[in-house]
């Protein structure tokens, strides 16, 4: 590795992290790249730039097998995939250049990577939030109206819903 000897315990840790990463990637339907980089850093202690490079080799191998399966099953929109691939080639070249520049600055690449992970997590959380009528119905189902002491006009106290549907005080 040039970073740490690939001893039995390190190889076992890499294998275990690989298994957990593969399981999570399969469960969530993600490529796994966001999981592989921190997993490699944890398992081997390698610098971020080396973990990114190693991750890309792994993701390429996994991706080729998966892409072939999807292509054979006719699940590929070839025009969209081709345009995305061209954009990815240009973006990948720019990203490699930026990563090489940041690798020299202490922990800069790690901080940028962590920022991207948090941004993606925030986006996924935001996307999972119910909106409009679905949000209102979801809130009503999970948060029933609070019950609080109330006093009727005659002075008689009772425990009931905070709001009511009319004079009979049935909850909404």
**pLDDT tens string 69-114:** 888 989 899 999 999 999 999 998 898 888 877 777 767 877 887 8
Summarize pLDDT for 99-155 with one digit per residue, the tens.
877 777 767 877 887 888 888 888 888 888 877 766 666 656 665 555 555 555 666
Rounded to whole angstroms, the Cα distance separating 154 from 122 reads 52
DSSP 145: P
H or E element at residue 147: strand 147-151
Q: What is the pTM of this model?
A: 0.52
CA trace torsion 142, 145, 147, 151 (10° rounding): 180
pLDDT, position 2: 45
Question: How many Å apart are CA 31 and CA 133, to the nearest integer?
Answer: 33
Q: In 3-state terms, what secondary structure has residue 157?
A: strand
């Amino acid at each position: 590795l040039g970073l740490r000897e690939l001893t039995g315990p390190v190889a076992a840790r890499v294998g275990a992290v690989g298994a957990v990463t593969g399981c999570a990637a399969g469960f969530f339907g993600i490529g796994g790249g966001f999981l592989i980089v921190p997993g490699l850093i944890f398992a081997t202690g390698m610098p971020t730039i080396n973990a990114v490079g190693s991750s890309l080799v792994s993701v390429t191998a996994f991706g080729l097998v998966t892409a072939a399966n999807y292509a054979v099953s006719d699940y590929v929109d070839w025009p969209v995939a081709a345009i995305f691939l061209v954009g990815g080639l240009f973006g990948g070249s720019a990203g490699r250049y930026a990563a090489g520049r940041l690798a020299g600055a202490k922990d800069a690449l790690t901080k940028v990577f962590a920022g991207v992970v948090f941004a993606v997590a925030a986006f996924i959380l935001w996307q999972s939030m119910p909106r409009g009528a679905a949000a209102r119905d979801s809130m009503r189902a999970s948060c029933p109206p609070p019950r609080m002491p109330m006093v009727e006009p005659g002075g008689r106290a009772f425990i009931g819903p905070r709001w009511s549907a009319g004079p009979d005080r049935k909850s909404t």
